[in-house]
Amino acid sequence: MSIRLKLVGAWILGLGVLAAPIHVASGRGSSGHARSIRPAARHGVDVRAVRLWAGPDNTRIVLDLSGSAQHSLAVLANPERVVLDVPGARLGAGARAPAALGAIKQVRMATQPSGELRIVFDLAHSIRAKSFLAQPNRQYGYRLVIDLGGAAAADTPVKVEHARPDARDLIIAIDAGHGGEDPGAIGKNGTREKDVVLAIARALAQRVNGEPGMRATLTRDGDYFVPLRDRMRRARAQQADLFVSIHADAIRDRSVDGSSVYILSPRGATDEASRWLAERENASDLIGGVSLDDKGDVLASVLLDLSQSASLSASQVAAEQVLHQLNQVGEVRKPQVQQARFMVLKSPDIPSMLVETAYISNPQEERRLRGAAQQSKLAAAIHQGLRAYFYADPPSGTRIAELAVAGTPRQVSAGTARGAGG
């Protein structure tokens, strides 16, 4: 049985009346300390739109800006609200206060006598807030992003219980990439990556839940954004046995097609190990009861290395099985499992893979991705790869291990996989 780590405890930010801003961003996230605000640019910045996205446990606010801007953010109580000041900014002609959504009951916007644009978000309950300024990319210009959440915010450790029942189900964490205000790649005909990968993730979850001895958990089950590291934490909170992230990328050359499967690179593993060792007071236990925070540097490093090595080895084997099955239902761009430093693959104790199902930038693949038949075929291929992996080496104490001993068939023919989209 592989060694697995778990995060224990929760970091709690005290809520109450905050007289000073808790966060001031200037292009990247801050440590939470208030900083002085530089004078606004002479001509100011236009706020072109204010958009809201809500998930089950977080709400994201996005301000579309005409350029870079300084800002201050304060969380206040009695009544609960978030106050955003943007010096020198003005509301664009089309900017309107959005309707209530998620934790936000009302949005109020006005220009202060000092010349600052003030936006107040009245809240339904207490929250934590983080903000950052996003630089322009292919889809968007400058954006000021504010994330509102509770105990499951992006930088909060998640408590994981030790106890697991005998003859338990395997838990597969399925991660639909992007979501909410992040559409991911967009095809020539307007197909959004976030939509097709959610459809594939749901189809995969349905197949996993229909498999005796397996149970699926989705990191998102709707059109909302989940921070990358929070996707990992949600999988760990569910004690997932495997994590698979679903994507459909774009590339400048529209003729490129085919699927690819990635696992974490050695460099990515090294970076994550350094983070865990630096913060091991928040990563105190291995599943099985072994504590990291009371170990010396050398022993903690050895234990973490053992866990990562086992996880990466399992990731490679599982990814090879999935890639093999994808090759049965369509083109595979790269015949070997690839390695990358994707954030969502960095769990040191959960075998993880990222599946690029197709290139949405390819017009033919975009058209197929829009259809339920192709989505179902891709989900079936991933499911069969996972099934083959677990039946080849079932974890002890699981229903799959019992079923394997009883002689349950381990493989499904390529013809069955091909016809799964009907």
pLDDT tens-digit series, residues 124-133: 988 889 888 8
**Total-model pTM:** 0.71
Distance from C-alpha of 193 to C-alpha of 178, rounded to nearest angstrom: 8
DSSP 48: E
Per this entry, what is the length of the chain?
A: 422
Structure confidence by residue, pLDDT tens digits, 166-207: 589 999 999 999 999 889 999 999 999 999 999 999 999 999
Structure confidence by residue, pLDDT tens digits, 288-325: 445 566 566 677 666 766 777 888 999 999 999 999 99
Q: Which of 238, 229, 228 lies closest to 177 in space, CA to CA?
A: 228
Question: CA dist 325 to 52, 275, 319, 362, 414, Å?
Answer: 39, 35, 10, 21, 8
Paired residues of 94 in beta bridges: none
CB-side exposure of 382: number of CA atoms within 13 Å?
Answer: 36
Pairing state between β 170-176 and 285-287 = unpaired
3-state class (DSSP) for residue 259: strand
Tell me the pLDDT band of 1, cut-offs 50, 70 and 90: very low
CB-side exposure of 352: number of CA atoms within 13 Å?
Answer: 30
Q: Which of 20, 47, 29, 14 lies closest to 118 in space, CA to CA?
A: 47
Q: Buried b vs exposed e over 324-360: b needs ≥16 C-beta within 10 Å? A: bbbebbbebeeeebebebbebbbbbbbbbbbbbbbbb
What pLDDT shows up at residue 57? Answer: 81
Distance from C-alpha of 50 to C-alpha of 96, rounded to nearest angstrom: 7
Mean pLDDT value of segment 160-164: 45
Residue position matching structure tokens 């990814």: 319
Please state the separation of Cα 49 from the chain's center in Å. 25
| Residue ranges with strand state E in 135-280 | 142-149, 170-176, 214-218, 242-247, 260-264
Domains of the chain, CATH where assigned: 45-148 (2.60.40.3500), 156-421 (3.40.630.40)
Tell me the pLDDT band of 105, cut-offs 50, 70 and 90: very high
Q: Which two tokens stand for residue 359?
A: 């290139």
Q: Which two tokens stand for residue 92?
A: 């664009």
Pairing state between β 81-86 and 117-123 = antiparallel
Distance from C-alpha of 405 to C-alpha of 393, rounded to nearest angstrom: 11
Element (H, E) at 34: none
